[in-house]
Amino acid sequence: MILIHTPSPKEVAAYLELFRAALPRQVFIALDEMHDPAAVEYVITWGPPPALFAGLPALKAVFALGAGVDKLLARSDLAPATPIYRLLDGGMAQQMAEYVRFGVLSYQRHMDVYRRQQAAGVWKMLAPKLAAEVRVGVLGLGEIGRAVALALAADGYSVSGWSRTPRQLAGVDCLFGDEGLDELLAGSDVLACVLPSTPETQGLLDAGKLAALPAGAMLINAGRGDLLDEDALLALLDSGHLRCAQLDVFASEPLPAGHRLWSHPAVTVTPHIAAITLRQQAVAQIVANLARLAAGGDGLGRVVRERGY
C-alpha cells in the first residue's frame, strides 16, 4: 500500500488519479483512507504532518515530491535507515532555467533600473549591454544547476559554475572548493544560487561572501532561504554595492508581512515559484523508481543523508 500526502487535498486527489492510472494493480490511498498503518510500505509526500512516519512500521521508503529534502532529513520520526528519494527533475529544470534567465536578462537590459526610474518619474536611457558582456555565476551544478548553466551559456552569457566536487560542462567554466567559490564570486555580475539546503550550504551567502561580488552585481536566489543572510543583503543593497536582487526563497516562508524585502525598491520577490513540480513528470519518475525497487534494485535520486541531497 502506498500513501500519498500533501497539504492540499486537491493536489492529493490529482496525484491519486495519476498514480492509480499508471499502476492500476497497486493500492494508493490518501491519509484519511489509511485504516491500517501497518500496511503502508511507501509514502509519496510533500509537507507530511508531524509524527506521520513513526506510525508506519512497515515503511520501506519515502518519495519526496520535489528536489529539496532538507525538511524530511530534519524529521525525528523518520528512521535514518529509511531511504528517501528526491525528484531529479520532475519538469523543474526548464522552469528554473527560465526563472534565472528572466533575472539575468532583466539585469542585462537594466529593467530593474528602469522600474525605479518609472517610480521616480525619470526618463533616462541607459547604454545597452550585450549578453557576452554579462558574467553569470551559477552556485550548484546538480541536475537543475547544470540545466541553468547550459541554458545561459547557450544564450551567449559568460557562465561560470560552482559545485562541491569537480564537474565538466561544455561552455561553462566549472569551479569547485573554497578557492573556486572565491573566484566565482569575484567574477560574477549576476550570481544565481540554486543550491540545496545542507549543513555545508546553510549560511553560505553571508556578509563576506556577498561583499565579494563586484560592485553593481545582482543576486538571484532560487535555492533555499537559509543559504542567505537577508540582513547582509539588505545592507549591501542600501549601500549600493549590490544593484538588485531577485528572491524566490526566504528564511521564513511565507515572507512575513512588513519585512523590508517586500518594499525594497531593488528587490523582486516571488513566492517560491521558480521551479514547481509538474505532476505528470513526477509521477513518471516515481513509478519508474517503484519498478526498480520491485525488481530488487535501487531507485534513482536516493538521498545521501551526509550530503543533504
**Residue 91: predicted pLDDT:** 78
Active-site amino acid positions:
224, 272
pLDDT digits (tens, 9 = 90+) for 210-253: 999 999 999 999 999 999 999 999 999 999 999 999 999 999 99
CATH number where 203 lies: 3.40.50.720
Give the residue-averaged pLDDT of 287-298. 96
242 and 290 housed in the same domain: no
Q: Domain check: are 204 and 232 in the same one?
A: yes
List the Cα angle 265/161/195 in 5-degree steps: 65
Average pLDDT, the chain: 96
Find the mean pLDDT for residues 10-31: 97
pLDDT, residue 90, reads: 66
What DSSP line would sit under 151-208, residue for residue?
A: HHHHTT-EEEEEESS---BTTBEEEEHHHHHHHHHHT-SEEEE-PPP-TTTTT-B-HH
What confidence category does residue 309 fall into, taking pLDDT thresholds of 50, 70 and 90?
A: confident
Percent of the chain scored above 70 by pLDDT?
100
Tens digits of residue pLDDT in 126-162 = 999 999 999 999 999 998 999 999 999 999 999 999 9
Tell me what the mean pLDDT of segment 66-76 comes to: 89
Is residue 300 domain-resident?
no
287 lies in the same domain as 175: no
User: Has residue 66 got a pLDDT over 80?
Assistant: yes
Residue 28 in 3-state DSSP? strand
Buried b vs exposed e over 277-305: b needs ≥16 C-beta within 10 Å? bbbeebbebbeebbeebeeeeebebebee
Q: Looking at residue 59, what is its pLDDT?
A: 98
Confidence at residue 105, expressed as pLDDT on a 0 to 100 scale: 98
Grid cell 535507515 is found at: 81
**Domain boundaries, position 15:** 2-90+277-294
Q: 199-238 burial string, b = 16+ CB within 10 Å, else e?
A: eebeebbeeebbebbeeebbbbbbbbbbbbbbebbbebbe
The reply to whether 302 falls in a domain is: no
Domain tally for the chain? 2
307 found inside a domain? no
pLDDT tens-digit profile of 72-110?
999 999 999 999 999 987 678 999 999 999 999 999 999
Strand-pair category, 28-29 with 42-45 = unpaired
Among 35, 42, 36, 37, CA closest to 19: 42
